[in-house]
Amino acid sequence: MGPGDILTLHYALGHNPPESLSDLLPARSLIYIKMIEKEELLPGSSPTPHCEDEVRINRIVDNLSLDDCAILFDRIRRMSNREARAAVGLQLDS
């Protein structure tokens, strides 16, 4: 699940996440949303390319601190999806 989905789930289940988490997850979500592939990914060498893309991005954003998110978002916010992915070394498998 993406960071925004995790935060939504906390609230949907009536949990009140700690302030540190309620700040961190939206910051991570901004990075996640910027990097997730928006176009439909068709099965090729993998039967589940979109799910695998989500996993790759989650592995990146799950390790970001709030400061990391601020620095990275400032760097990629005006980039296209493809440029942002390339800036962090993330490429789609062809």
Report pLDDT digits (tens) over 3-46.
Answer: 999 999 999 999 988 999 999 999 999 999 999 877 766 666 77
More confident residue, 53 or 10: 10
Q: How high is the pLDDT of residue 94?
A: 40
Contact predicate 77/31, CB 8 Å: no
Contacts of 37 (CB under 8 A, 6+ apart): 50, 53, 81, 85, 92
Q: How high is the pLDDT of residue 2?
A: 93
Contacts of 32 (CB under 8 A, 6+ apart): 2, 3, 4, 57, 58, 61
The residue to which tokens 């939206």 are assigned: 26
